[in-house]
């Protein structure tokens, strides 16, 4: 089974250039964190009030791997940047 980690972000500055920059930063995690099996990220195209601005989908072999990812220094550095840029976020983690 895989563990899928989905996160949505509402950005302080949701302009497309800023959102794309953050999306690229998220995608840079691939290959830098051994337990990260895959990662996808994208910018919202609907842009309605109910929409979040940016999303990521990360996959891991186990919950333990996701926990290791959460504390990895590369992830922690990105998290600082995302927290500074976001006014809100939501997450869901599920096995499939």
pLDDT digits (tens, 9 = 90+) for 4-21: 999 999 999 999 999 999
Q: What is the pTM of this model?
A: 0.94
Strands of 54-60's sheet, edge to edge? 38-43, 54-60, 3-11, 86-95
SS3 label, residue 65: helix
Q: How far is the C-alpha of 69 from the C-alpha of 33, rounded, in Å? A: 7
Q: How far is the C-alpha of 35 from the C-alpha of 15, rounded, in Å? A: 32
CATH number for 3-95: choose from 3.90.1150.10, 1.10.1760.20, 3.30.70.100, 3.40.395.10: 3.30.70.100
51-62 average pLDDT score:
97
The whole-number pLDDT of residue 67 equals 97
53-72 average pLDDT score:
98
């Amino acid at each position: 089974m895989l563990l899928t980690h989905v996160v949505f972000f509402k950005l302080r500055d949701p302009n497309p250039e800023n959102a794309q920059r953050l999306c690229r930063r998220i995608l840079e995690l691939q290959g830098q964190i051994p337990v990260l099996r895959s990662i996808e990220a994208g910018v919202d195209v609907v842009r309605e009030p109910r929409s979040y601005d940016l999303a990521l989908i990360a996959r891991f072999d186990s919950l333990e791997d996701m926990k290791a990812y959460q504390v990895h220094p590369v992830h922690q550095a990105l998290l600082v940047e995302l927290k500074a840029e976001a006014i809100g976020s939501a997450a869901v983690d599920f096995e499939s």
